[in-house]
Chains A and B, each alone.
Chain A
Amino acid sequence: MELEAAKMIGAGLAAIALAGAGVGIGIIFGNYLTGAMRNPSAAQKQFPNLLLGFALAEATGLFGLVVALIILFAF
């Protein structure tokens, strides 16, 4: 039973990684908006880069989620 409890705590701790993903996505979209407000004509060209950065930032947080799921279901 102790192992079960430790697994739950570990999975919860691993999910903290998603906080970083939230910060990262916020920074990316915030900076994109700032840049787009300053120079709207260049905004459309950088949209693919925005999506790429969003996906890259989100993925790092999801790695933490994967760790949580591995702890919960794979052991």
Chain B
Amino acid sequence: MSLNPMHQFQVYKIGPEINLGGLNLSFTNASLFMTVSSVLILALLFFGTKKKLLIPSKIQLITEMSYTFVAKMINDTAGSAAKSFFPFIFTLFMFVLFSNMVGMLPYSFTTTSHIIVTFVLAAIVFVGVTILGFVKHGFKYLELFVPKGVPMVLLPLIVIIEIISYLSRPVSLSVRLFANMMAGHTMLKVFGGFVISLGLLGGWLPLGFSIALTGLEILVAFLQAYVFAILTCIYLNDALNLHH
């Protein structure tokens, strides 16, 4: 069973079972690793901003880099109007990044490899952006579905396509992150299984592959967090600056 590449995604409870009104709220390994990544983010930001040196220490440098990275990303894609959403996007980016990175450690659990986690994050973004758009523009927000400069003949078709693409945003946003994480970790485990089954003689080739894939997965872990955050910025841009 330990050779099954899907075994790593199993959620099991740690400690006592807690049932609240039919809901199973037991503390699982998923919740444990979510807590771990949240605590790591808090620790990084706490120790990084504790001593504000002019010449930064390493941990302060990492904190400042992540801050400026997200700030620049928001400014480039959503403009200065989205400045007030910095805390939200920073939290989102750091949580996804740390969940992905903690998942790269051997014997750990990748919380973002479960669709429910990523879908909740994407649904928060989608619902929040939609509410924001309607609050800011009223019913003029529906103009988002009517691109400018489209011939009248094509307009009904385009509007339907635009509405479908708008509604598929939470699905594509969540499935992208979840599928990348799950596919990558499955692939790592499959190659790990090859190392074991080929043994001492032939196992070196898949071991080398496995090492290279780990590097690729770390890149993908960062990239997916970045893409998740930047797509959130793009959606925010649509809601804040209509047709710009």
Contacts and interface: CB of A to CB of B under 8 A. Distances in A.
Contacts of B175: 59, 62-63, 66
Interface string B215-241: 000000001101100110000000000
B125 to A, nearest CB: 16
A65 B178 CA distance: 11
Which of the four size classes fits the interface of chain B? 10 to 19
29 contacts: A48-B76, A48-B230, A51-B223, A51-B226, A51-B227, A52-B227, A52-B230, A52-B231, A54-B223, A55-B176, A55-B180, A55-B223, A55-B224, A55-B226, A56-B176, A56-B227, A58-B180, A59-B172, A62-B176, A62-B179, A62-B183, A63-B175, A65-B179, A65-B183, A66-B175, A66-B178, A66-B179, A69-B182, A73-B6
A56 B226 CA distance: 12
B contact face: mostly helix, strand, loop, or mixed:
helix
A69 B180 CA distance: 13
A69 B196 CA distance: 24
A58 B183 CA distance: 11
A59 B176 contact: yes
Contacts of B180: 55, 58-59, 62
Interface residues of A, number: 14
Nearest to B76: A48
A63 B179 contact: yes
A contact face: mostly helix, strand, loop, or mixed:
helix
Interface string B68-100: 000001001000000000000000000000000
A8 B224 CA distance: 29
Nearest to A66: B179
Interface in B165-193: 172, 175-176, 178-180, 182-183
Contacts of A52: 227, 230-231
A63 B180 CA distance: 9
3 closest pairs, A vs B, by CB?
A: A62-B179, A59-B176, A55-B227
Contacts of B176: 55-56, 59, 62
Contacts of B172: 59
A51 B226 CA distance: 9
Interface in B49-80: 73, 76
Contacts of A48: 73, 76, 230
A56 B230 CA distance: 12
